Amino acid sequence: TLFSMVTPLSWLLRVPTFKEKVKAQPHNVNYGLVGYPVLMTADIALYKGEIVPVGEDQLPHLELAREIVRRFNSIYGFVFPEPQAKLTSFPLILGLDGIQKMSKSYNNYIEIAASPQEILERVMTAFTDPARRYRSDSGHPDICNIFCLHKFFTPARVDEIASECRRAGIGCVECKKMLAESISSTLEPFREKRAILASKPNYITEVLADGANRAEAIAKETVREVKEKMRLLQRVQLEHIRD
């Protein structure tokens, strides 16, 4: 709420993801959609986050977060550091549809805990090179989403895969099977770790509780500092004296 009072509406209306949502669902525009970036900013600033691991699609939101905290600091005095993005070497991974980012919301994702068979079934539904209609046709790896995923999951063989694709040495089905095997192999340690943690529900609860307690302490101190800068504490103290 406090951040919303220093955030011009024009800043929120120019966010790319907001424009996309409005275009896709013009009759479903509400405050929650418009104000979401402010809540994201609060989530970061409440703990005075400086480095934020995000995907490339979230960079506009993070830039807005910097503008919001910069404006707050300029009005009330320095409280919040300006958060910077931490991107991986693959800041955006397209989903199996080859159009949108990989996301559970779009049902174009591969679950980390999925079994090898489930991974294979998901990968086999993925879109490939739209220009390659027949097995004997030369492929175009640069425009194929399966090849993009190979870059992440099969980095040691990307040159070989690209060459075989271009000369029709392998077909899309074979390429998908190779990718499914690579994904399954990459995710195997995560599946094993997840199985171990799933057998220790009390441990998970304790870790979450400990993290929540430490986060709450930081959040309370930040809120106190913000109210002090905005002189809200003085008003509360004066009202208490009158009583």
Per-residue pLDDT for 185 more than 60?
Answer: yes
Which pLDDT belongs to residue 238? 54
Band the pLDDT of 243: cuts 50, 70, 90: low
The topology under which CATH files domain 1-91 is Rossmann fold (3.40.50)
Band the pLDDT of 235: cuts 50, 70, 90: low
Q: Where are the domains of the chain?
A: 1-91, 104-192, 200-243
3-class SS of residue 101: strand
Mean pLDDT to the nearest integer, 93-100: 88
User: Residue 182 and residue 36: Cα distance in Å, rounded?
Assistant: 36
pLDDT digit string, tens, across residues 121-146: 999 999 998 889 889 999 999 999 99
Which pLDDT belongs to residue 192? 95
- Give the global pTM: 0.77
Which pLDDT belongs to residue 35? 94
Per-residue pLDDT for 236 more than 90?
Answer: no
Enumerate the active-site residues: 21, 101, 104
Q: Are 65 and 30 in contact (CB under 8 A)?
A: no
What DSSP string describes 25-94? -TT---HHHHHHHHHHHHHHHTTT--EEE--GGGHHHHHHHHHHHHHHHHHH----PPPEEE--SS---B
Mean pLDDT to the nearest integer, 116-122: 97
Per-residue pLDDT for 98 more than 90?
Answer: no
Mean of all residue pLDDT scores within the chain: 92
Residue 210: both structure tokens together: 């400990």
User: Residue 62 and residue 87: Cα distance in Å, rounded?
Assistant: 12
* Residue type at position 180: A
Per-residue pLDDT for 75 more than 80?
Answer: yes
**∠ Cα 121 127 129 (to 5°):** 130
Per-residue pLDDT for 53 more than 60?
Answer: yes
Residue 144: both structure tokens together: 């194929």
Per-residue pLDDT for 186 more than 60?
Answer: yes
Chain-centroid distance of CA 74 in Å reads 29
Which pLDDT belongs to residue 105? 84
User: Residue 32 and residue 47: Cα distance in Å, rounded?
Assistant: 22
pLDDT digit string, tens, across residues 192-230: 999 999 999 999 999 999 999 999 999 999 999 999 999
CATH number given to 104-192: 1.10.240.10
State the CB neighbour count (10 A cutoff) for residue 4: 15
